[in-house]
Structure 1
Amino acid sequence: MDFDFSDEQEQLRDAVRKWVGRAYNFERRRAIARDGGFSGEAWGELAELGLMGLYIPEDEGGLGMGPIEGMVVMEELGRGIVLEPLAQSLIAGGVLAGHGPGELRQAWLPGIASGERIVVLAHVERQARYRLEVCAASATQTGGHWEITGLKSLVPVGDQADAFLVPAQVQGKIALFLVERNANGVTAQGYGTVDGSRAAEVSFKSAPAQLLTTEGLNALAHAVDIGLAALCAEAVGVMDQTLAATVDYMNTRKQFGVTLATFQALRHRVADMKMQLELARSMSYYASLKLNAPADERRRAMARAKVQLGQSMRFIGQQAVQLHGGIGVTEEFIVSHYFKKLTQLELSYGDTLHALGEVSARMQDTAGVFA
């Protein structure tokens, strides 16, 4: 199998890497985090690169690219621990393009692709514990119009978004809707998260909604899988930089008159970090390559990838902090921010234990050994 990237993919990687290095340094990120965790200016700069439209067809204003390009972009954004939730635009573009009716596609996809409209997934409920089929929000139809009532938690930039993709129960079955933030009955309470980004609790009280699809559970699973593939790639970028910062510190920090890198036991720990990074990278590739596979195959792949990524993120983050010592947990040092980002990513879309349960539940008679 050929894992080489095309010239176009390498050019895309280079463009995003240059933007991160030039325009999104550590000080700017800290300033954005202090100001609430989201910058409209940085969002506009990402839009100028065309990144919001990666999964949106060209005839609807996007770039018409695929999962590998998405992986390349998210990995580079991970290197800069970028706070702005580009993955949400990938989710919105992919779900609307794949499941939305024509009028919703025409109304929203060009705006998402240009960055003028922010549409985010609002599916987390407090009692769900990562289970997509658990949904207390409900939708009713009156006079040909839909209304949603419910509460969604941890909605990325929920108080800044223009609209939400919201799963809700309709006669015992989950459907997926689009709800505008400024609609009557919608209330969003924003707050900062542990990694410095922004989320919100969003309440819907008989809020007017537009039906996306009655096959909401399938569309929701697709949305989450797009998010998982993006998360895996982003985590690889974060871990890559975490390892690089750790190696640089060990080559400069001295103890007993010699650099830390001269101690064999510490070098072994760094080698273990590198192994975990490469295992994570291979599973990130696997997740992206399976993103357009049939639903059952895709869901199994995402669960497997999240197990490995979760293990790698925890190991690399903890080892980096240990090898840096006390400075590794200070606000002024970038490794502490890498660690917080990895911690939050490990818990997103289901923690490692949940992903392991998903792998177990999807095992065939061969337990995946010969299949």
Structure 2
Amino acid sequence: MNPQQTEHDEDQRSLAEAITSFAQRRDHAATDPWPELVAMGLPGLLVPEALGGLGLDGGSMHAVMESLGRNRLTTPFVVSAVLCTRLLLELADEGQQARWLPALSSGEHVLAFAHGEPQGEHLPRHLSTHARREGDDWILSGRKTVVPHGGESTAWLVSARVGSNETALFWVDAAATGLRVERYPCIDGSTGADLWFDELRLPAAAWIGSTGMNVTTAIAAATDAATAGLCAESAGLQSTLFDMTLDYVKTRRQFGVALGSLQAIQHRLAEMLVAVEQSKSLSWLAARSLDDDATIRTRSVAAAKVRCAESGRFIGLQSIHLHGGMGMTDELPVGRCVKRLLAIAHSWGDARHHVGRLVDLMRATPTMTAPAPGSQSLSLAAVA
């Protein structure tokens, strides 16, 4: 991405406008948006053109995710087209990429990342799910919980411990024998899943990567990419909530005057607008940082997630309050937007988790190098 780029370019705006055009003509209550996104080629957004994708970058991902949020479209895009795609690009060999990435781009497969375990850590350091070699096959045992969009997937990338401390990834198809899947609805309208592996036998080709690869580092980079995508979606949702609330207070009359004419209401709207703009700025910074070194990426993504989680809660509460009791109902889009913001705030690390990442980074690098002249990088103090 152009280091001086500070907003979406023409191609990125075209992607966002295509999603908006689709959203405006669909029935939100009856239509699954995923097939239309597949028809647009969006599942292959980050897949190289040679493998059937669009070969675009983090800025394009941000444009898509922000537009999905602004138009209230909850899809498995961020887990399949961002997180799992980046894992395959980083870890899979050429044969695996040629086999699986075109299937993702075409919509034949929808992938989810099964990493969380019952101990409840956002990114578990010690995996209880384990795999052992038996002849040419792998035997997988353990359990994965609360897999985001796991109930909508046709396959999963599953993390497991191999040997004493090595982390590995495996492709697990939904039809595998020895796999039990429990699907359930989530608060935001998506479908989560818990997975049980009871001596699940996998072929050698299901192992993604090779001995000696740093899978943990690849997982950290991919989950940061997904988190940056969620921050963009959060910013889009917050923008929509603000616009809906602004329109409402302009027309809702109380004691003979429009609510929006009251100075106290205007002050609250101003605070909401500031919060939205902060989320938009930091989510854009996070998307720009995905190909930078780990320190810059961690700093930018963690700061964006903290800001978006806090702003999302603030915008949601203010929107409900200003709409009154009907803001709590499912009949009004406000309630559904707030539920999605709540789900985003707790996906791949809540605000407390990412504050901890910033604290760890500050302890590891107590003095941050000043940005070069003209650089748009921010200091840790500025983004935290």
TM-score class, shorter-chain normalisation, is over 0.9
**Alpha-carbon offset, residue 70 of structure 1:** 0.5
Per the alignment, residue 306 of structure 1 pairs with 305
Could you tell me which amino acid in structure 2 is paired with residue 68 of structure 1? G
String of CA shifts for 1:181-218, please: whole Å, max 9, x gaps.
21111111111101111111111122234111352211
Give the Cα–Cα distance (whole angstroms) in 1 for the partners of residues 254 and 306 of structure 2: 36
Could you tell me which amino acid in structure 2 is paired with residue 58 of structure 1? E
Confirm or deny: 8 A CA contact 1:176 1:220 kept in the other structure: no
Aligned residue for 1:159, secondary structure, equals helix
TM-score normalized by the length of structure 2:
0.89
1:208 to 185, 197, 201: 201
**Mean CA deviation greater in 204-213 or 79-88:** 204-213
Give the Cα–Cα distance (whole angstroms) in 2 for the partners of residues 107 and 353 of structure 1: 39
In the alignment, structure 1 residue 149 sits paired with structure 2 residue 141: yes
Number of positions where the alignment pairs a residue of Structure 1 with one of Structure 2: 359
Give the Cα–Cα distance (whole angstroms) in 1 for the partners of residues 189 and 264 of structure 2: 34
**Alpha-carbon offset, residue 352 of structure 1:** 0.6
Give the Cα–Cα distance (whole angstroms) in 1 for the partners of residues 115 and 319 of structure 2: 33
Alignment of 1:324-339 (within 5 A): 324-339=323-338
In the alignment, structure 1 residue 94 sits paired with structure 2 residue 52: no
Give the Cα–Cα distance (whole angstroms) in 2 for the partners of residues 6 and 369 of structure 1: 29
Quote the sequence identity (%): 34
In the alignment, structure 1 residue 10 sits paired with structure 2 residue 6: no
Give the Cα–Cα distance (whole angstroms) in 2 for the partners of residues 370 and 328 of structure 1: 34
Could you tell me which amino acid in structure 2 is paired with residue 10 of structure 1? R
**Mean CA deviation greater in 153-162 or 216-225:** 153-162
In the alignment, structure 1 residue 197 sits paired with structure 2 residue 200: no
Give the Cα–Cα distance (whole angstroms) in 2 for the partners of residues 173 and 299 of structure 1: 23
Give the Cα–Cα distance (whole angstroms) in 1 for the partners of residues 381 and 228 of structure 2: 23
Which stretches in structure 2 are left out of the alignment for 5+ residues? 369-379
Could you tell me which amino acid in structure 2 is paired with residue 286 of structure 1? L
Give the Cα–Cα distance (whole angstroms) in 2 for the partners of residues 272 and 366 of structure 1: 33
**Mean CA deviation greater in 212-221 or 176-185:** 212-221
**Alpha-carbon offset, residue 73 of structure 1:** 0.5
Confirm or deny: 8 A CA contact 2:117 2:124 kept in the other structure: no
Alignment of 1:60-99 (within 5 A): 60-89=51-80, 90-99=82-91
**Alpha-carbon offset, residue 247 of structure 1:** 0.4
Cα distance, 1:245–1:30 mapped onto 2, change above 3 Å: same
Give the Cα–Cα distance (whole angstroms) in 1 for the partners of residues 96 and 294 of structure 2: 23
Per the alignment, residue 177 of structure 1 pairs with 170
Could you tell me which amino acid in structure 2 is paired with residue 291 of structure 1? L
Confirm or deny: 8 A CA contact 1:179 1:207 kept in the other structure: no
**What is the root-mean-square deviation in Å for CA atoms of aligned residues?**
1.7
**Alpha-carbon offset, residue 369 of structure 1:** 4.6
Per the alignment, residue 138 of structure 1 pairs with 130
Give the Cα–Cα distance (whole angstroms) in 2 for the partners of residues 229 and 187 of structure 1: 31
Give the Cα–Cα distance (whole angstroms) in 1 for the partners of residues 28 and 140 of structure 2: 36
**Alpha-carbon offset, residue 370 of structure 1:** 9.7
Aligned residue for 2:116, secondary structure, equals coil
Give the Cα–Cα distance (whole angstroms) in 2 for the partners of residues 160 and 263 of structure 1: 46
**Alpha-carbon offset, residue 295 of structure 1:** 2.6
Give the Cα–Cα distance (whole angstroms) in 2 for the partners of residues 55 and 296 of structure 1: 23
Give the Cα–Cα distance (whole angstroms) in 1 for the partners of residues 86 and 339 of structure 2: 28
